[in-house]
A and B are shown apart, each in its own frame.
Chain A
Amino acid sequence: MRFLKPDKTSTTKCRLRLRAVWGCRLLTIAICLTPLALSGQENTPQTRSKQDDLDKLVYKAEQERIRIVQSTLKSAISIFGPGGNGGGSGVVISADGYAITNFHVTQPCGTHMKCSMPNGKLYDAVIVGVDPTGDVALIKLFSEEPLPFAKLADSNEVEVGQWCFAVGNPFLLATDFQPTVTYGLVSGVHRYQYPSGTLLEYTDCIQVDASINPGNSGGPLYNMKGELIGINGRGSFEKRGRVNVGVGYAISINQVKNFLDYLKSGRIVDHATLGAQVFSDADGQVVVNNILSTSDAYRRGLRYGDEIVFFADRPIHHANDFKNVLGIYPKGWRVPLTFRREGVLNTIQVRLAGVHRPAELLNAVEKGAPAQRPPGQKKLPKNHKVVSNPKEYEQKKGYANYYFNELHRKRVWDRFVKVTDWKKTEANWQLKFTDQNSSTVELGLNENQVGGLFPLGPELLDLSKDLDQQLVPLGSGGLLVAAHLWKHLLQEGPEKFGELYYLGAMPLPTMQNKQEVFVAVHDVVECRFYFDSETGLLSLLELYPDEMTDPCEIYFTNYQVQEGMKVPVHWRVIWSDFEFSNMQLKELKITK
């Protein structure tokens, strides 16, 4: 049975027409590329020379495209698991060898993998951090020389109808280390793809008709400026077998950017939830139809029936818009949310909670999705040069690679200590402040005794009892405990503080620079220390007595030298959106 009934005469005609149409198309493209040339051509009598000019223009445009594509190839990697298991693509994003790929590509490879680059070298690489929900993994290639890397675009500027191209290792063809380039149109943006399996969810992704095949997973998607706009990872296949059918999806690079500093921490990172569910009602409004009373959104004032208008500065017209926005943020970020109640708009800053329990994530990493095994060549090429550094891996439960967590924890702390080192200071600290009402606030921080004189009276901590029961003074959320832990970190450092890890870096609504975060548990309370990524100084301390309570926040600014130490002289204490105290340090005494 045949579907097509070819007819010889029409075929010939077709060819002629095809040529004519191609000519027209090229003409149009060329004219568009050089608008100035148009006026000169209109009155040219010689068709032949017109054709020549055109050929040159087309040639020039083609050369430009070749140049752009070539420039992107250098940073492409093909990933092979040990023994040729699994495999896929990836892209280097910094000269020191960090590369992005899909979680489902690194999953079957385990902790180490081999990556080939078009320069003909095969590099050993190690896992750094994974995001099993968003299907992203950060790996690091061991290289003695700086590596070529991709330039990251702003993927919110990608529009449907723009051209794009994918670079990768479809069907694991890159046994000669040379990647494959496929070209296509952006078919859709801000797509939401429901989770396939348990965790995997593609939100706010880019849909393309450039061929994305098994093996392309983890590889880069570029715009026509040669800037990285996404990480290819998924396709719609269904009944047509595992080959491209005109629909491929890429994780937006903006999502990857949000997670990047978290992934560098060597952790298994989680996505976010608001603790509230929304639906699109008949009037086209997105309304809260379920909210946890224990959620931060609830404490900030969001209630059942409120209409969501903006979320993270993006307009929300549909429940999917909401899911799209939510999906690109890591757990723990603070994002603005605007809602409407009885015609009045309110904007709040919401702390995003995690979607999964740590055990769920761990389970996903240990068992995870089944590996994609594209057909074809699976053997590793011979005679390759291996650059290896097995030191950059350390196993620890709950981490993808604990080595990187320690590395960054040390980096952040060393930088802070370089500015102000409190290790050798004496044990007894006396701090005298004036608050916004010109009242005096005094803190006495000692190893065995922690107390304070506040406008409403004196307070004392009993260090032999649980700290979460001593959140004094009233209305501060635990200022005295926070001050105690501040001193504890400064003097003891992260190693001796207790259980402490590096979370990654994140932006904060009130701060200009990104903040690098330590999460620490002392006694029964959790502390978060925020270090300014530019100055390296401690800029915020948050004290969480438990997950369901607002933290006591102390914002430290205006670092000045007192007692030979660099001290923040401005302390702003906030609890539950209220300013408890705004204090200026007048005197610091450190004695035995």
Chain B
Amino acid sequence: MKDLMTNIMNLTWLLLVLLGCTTFSNSGIAHQRYPADGSFTKVVQKIQPKIIKIYGAGGFRGLESYQSGFLISNEGHILTSWSYVLDSDIVLAVLDDGKKYPATLVGMDPQYEIAILKIDVTELPFFDLSQTLESEVGMKVLAFSNLYGIAVGNEASSVLHGYICAKTKLTVRQGSRKINYDGEVLVLDAMSNNPGAAGGALVSGSGDLLGILGKELKNDLTGTWINYAIPIAELEGVVGDILSGNERVARAETIKPKQAMSTQFLGIVTLPNILSKTPPFVDHVLDKSPAKEGGLMADDLILFVNKRRITSCDDLDEELSFIDQEDIVTLLVQRGEKLMTLDLEIE
């Protein structure tokens, strides 16, 4: 009797599964992707729990204290844009249901201008970076972000629609770069890159991840703003490196040279090093020094030395001590809102 019941149950299951399969094959992919009324409500509902609103430093002089990001792992890793917003002791990540979590910085890459944060939550929906879609010009896209900080509290992020207009490179002006990333970008016709949108997710009409929304970018000459995203395919390597804890750039030299570089040689005078971690702000530069020649100015904040991140005056001294006096020192500095790459050389 028991066997019979089990058999019947098994058969029922089989039937159900078969029925499910038939429905699935009848509906086809097209049906799954676009509902009959052409709306994107299902896709939106699927994506929004993966989008994170990020709050940190800023909130003065027209600098917004918020940006966007999205979950990329089951362990609470968040991919976002690297910016001053993250330069805060407390960075808050807010989910679409309003839950707030403190986020820690796992790592960042100045070249790609991305950062990875982590929150102590698991089992949240996330984008699987190995399952992304190749983006094509003409593709319909949806841009998810917390632009203008509209989505306060438990409000879900904003969604804008548009098309990929071009896949191209943004020209970079030497010396004063507005963005460091020099790879291919997806240019969008949606007004996606607004304040707070950086780090948002660009997805296809079926919800596949295509890219990460870039920062606000304005052409000073024409006054036009460009809306773009960095293709996710370009980021796979760097994201993997950050997640695995590998430093992006290993120090070129492992042994200190005899004739080592120093701030003195370069003509850089930093703030008095009185704290345990005095930020490496330039107090002033000496006349006719390599620093002066290279364009370094007072109040610049030195962020990178030869692509290695430094966070204090001690870091700066340590890093320079590995560089030979005959070599070129490349500094990435923050001047006001701008990031600049400067090459310093002792002649």
Q: Do A and B come from one complex?
A: yes
Q: Is there an interface contact between A2 and B171, defined as CB atoms closer than 8 Å? A: yes
**CB-defined interface of B4-33 with A at 8 Å, one 1/0 digit per residue?**
000000000000000000000010101101
Q: Is the CB of A17 within 8 A of B155?
A: no
What is the total number of residues of chain B having a CB less than 8 Å from a CB of chain A?
A: 62
Q: How far is the CA of A1 from the CA of B34 in the complex (A)?
A: 41
Interchain CB contact under 8 A, B167 and A163: no
Q: How far is the CB of B102 from chain A (nearest CB, A)?
A: 12
Within the complex, the shortest CB–CB distance from B87 to chain A, in Å, comes to 22
Interface flags for B209-248 (1: CB within 8 Å of A; 0: not) read 0000000010111000110000000000000000000000
**At the interface, yes or no: A10 with Cβ under 8 Å from chain B?**
yes
Determine the distance from Cα of A13 to Cα of B136 in the docked complex, in whole angstroms. Answer: 11
User: Are A32's CB and B97's CB within 8 A?
Assistant: no
Chain A 180-227 residues near chain B, CB threshold 8 A:
184-188, 190-193, 207, 209, 224
B173 at interface by CB-CB < 8 Å: yes
Distance (whole angstroms) from the CB of A579 to the closest CB of chain B: 40
Q: Which residues on B sit within 8 Å (CB–CB) of A244?
A: 191
Report the bound CA distance from A33 to B139 in whole Å: 20
Given A4-B166, A33-B36, A317-B98, CB of A246 within 8 Å of CB of B138: no
B138 lies within 8 A of A187 (CB): no
Q: In chain A between 50 and 102, which residues have their CB closer than 8 angstroms to a CB of chain B?
A: none
On whether the beta carbons of B169 and A5 are closer than 8 Å, the reply is yes
The answer to whether the Cβ of A245 comes within 8 Å of any Cβ in the partner chain is yes
Chain B residue at minimal CB-CB distance from A186 = B159
Question: Across the two chains, which residue of chain B brings its CB closest to A185?
Answer: B161
Does A14 lie within 8 Å of B37, measured CB to CB?
Answer: no
In angstroms, Cα B222 to Cα A2, docked, is 9
Nearest to A2 among chain B residues (CB) is B171
In the complex with contacts A1-B219, A187-B159, A318-B154, A159-B39 CB distance below 8 A: yes
A534 located at the interface, meaning its Cβ lies under 8 Å from any Cβ of chain B in the complex: no
Q: Contact between B161 and A3 (Cβ–Cβ < 8 Å)?
A: no
* Residue B137 at the chain A interface, CB threshold 8 Å: yes
Residues of A within 8 A of B26 (CB): 39
Task: Point out the residues of chain A lying under 8 angstroms from B37, CB to CB.
Answer: 162-163, 224
Min C-beta distance of A590 to chain B, whole Å? 60
The segment from A22-30, A481-489, A495-503 that touches chain B is: A22-30
Instruction: Tell yes or no: A386 within 8 A of B by CB.
Output: no
Which single member of B31, B158, B194 contacts A32 (CB below 8 Å)? B31
> A280 in the interface, Cβ–Cβ < 8 Å?
yes
Which residue of A is nearest B28, CB measured?
Answer: A38
Number of inter-chain CB pairs below 8 Å: 171
B98 touches A32 (CB 8 A): no
Looking at A114-122, A232-240, A338-346, A377-385, the stretch in contact with chain B turns out to be A232-240
Instruction: Judge if B59 is at the interface, Cβ distance under 8 Å.
Output: no
User: How long is the Cα–Cα vector from A75 to B137 in the complex, in angstroms?
Assistant: 39
Q: Do B225 and A240 touch (CB < 8 A)?
A: yes
Contact with B along A11-54 (1 / 0, CB 8 A): 00110011111100101110111010011000000000000000
Is B190 close to A, CB under 8 A? yes
Q: Assuming A28-B30, A191-B155, is B38 touching A163 (CB within 8 A)? A: yes
Assess whether B44 is in contact with A161, with CB atoms less than 8 Å apart. yes
State the Cβ distance, B215 to closest chain A Cβ, in Å: 12
Name the CB-closest residue of B to A14: B137
For the complex, give the distance between the alpha carbons of A379 and B314 in Å: 68
Cα–Cα, bound, A236→B194 (Å): 10
- On chain A, the residues within 8 Å of B154 by CB distance are 317-318, 320-321
Given A163-B39, A280-B98, A317-B97, are A7 and B194 also a contact pair (CB < 8 Å)? no
Q: 1/0 contact trace for B161-173 toward A, CB 8 Å? A: 1000011111101
| Bound Cα distance from A160 to B137, whole angstroms | 25
Set of chain A residues within 8 Å of B44, measured between Cβ atoms: 159-161
B34 to nearest A CB, angstroms?
5
Residues of A within 8 A of B226 (CB): 3-4
- B194–A3 touching, CB < 8 Å: no
Q: Which of B110-118, B144-152, B263-271, B290-298 contacts A (4 or more CB under 8 A)?
A: B144-152
Q: Which residue of A lies closest to B227 (CB)?
A: A246
> Are A161 and B158 in contact (CB-based, < 8 A)?
no
Q: In the bound complex, do residue A188 and residue B155 qualify as a contact, i.e. CB atoms below 8 Å apart? A: yes
Q: In the complex, what distance in Å separates the CA atom of A365 from the CA atom of B190?
A: 37
A457 touches B (CB below 8 Å) = no
Q: Across the interface, do B62 and A4 meet the contact criterion of CB distance under 8 Å?
A: no
A17 to B138, CA, bound (A): 7
- A188→B148 CA distance, assembly (Å): 13
Q: Which single member of A3, A161, A284 contacts B99 (CB below 8 Å)?
A: A284
Give the chain B neighbours of A1 by CB distance below 8 A.
Answer: 171, 173, 219-221
* Inter-subunit contact B155/A3 (CB<8 Å): no
A247 within 8 A of B: yes
A318→B96 CA distance, assembly (Å): 12
CB distance from B173 to the nearest CB of A (A): 6
B191–A32 contact, CB under 8 A? no
Q: Are B137 and A245 in contact (CB under 8 A)?
A: no
| A470 to B194 alpha-carbon distance, docked (Å) | 64
B98 touches A14 (CB 8 A): no
**For the complex, what is the distance from the CA of A207 to the CA of B155, rounded to whole Å?**
12
- Nearest chain B residue, comparing its CB with the CB of A224: B37
Whether the pair A21, B217 counts as a contact (CB closer than 8 A) is: no
B145 to chain A, nearest CB (A): 10
Across the interface, A162 reaches (CB within 8 A) one of B36, B39, B168, namely B39
**Nearest Cβ distance between residue A501 and chain B, in whole angstroms?**
38
| B194 and A245 within 8 A (CB) | yes
Given A5-B168, A27-B30, 14 more A-B residue pairs with CB atoms under 8 Å apart are: A3-B171, A7-B168, A28-B30, A32-B38, A35-B36, A187-B158, A190-B155, A191-B155, A192-B152, A192-B155, A209-B159, A246-B147, A246-B160, A320-B154
Closest 3 CB pairs of A and B: A246-B191, A161-B40, A21-B138
Binding site for B on A (CB under 8 A): 1-7, 10, 13-14, 17-22, 25, 27-29, 31-33, 35, 38-39, 159-163, 184-188, 190-193, 207, 209, 224, 236, 238-240, 244-247, 280, 284, 317-321
Q: List 7 A-B contacts (CB under 8 A).
A: A161-B42, A185-B161, A187-B158, A207-B150, A209-B191, A224-B39, A246-B147
Residues of B at under 8 Å CB distance from A? 26, 28, 30-31, 33-45, 48, 62, 97-99, 136-140, 142, 147-148, 150-161, 166-171, 173, 187, 190-192, 194-195, 205, 217, 219-221, 225-226
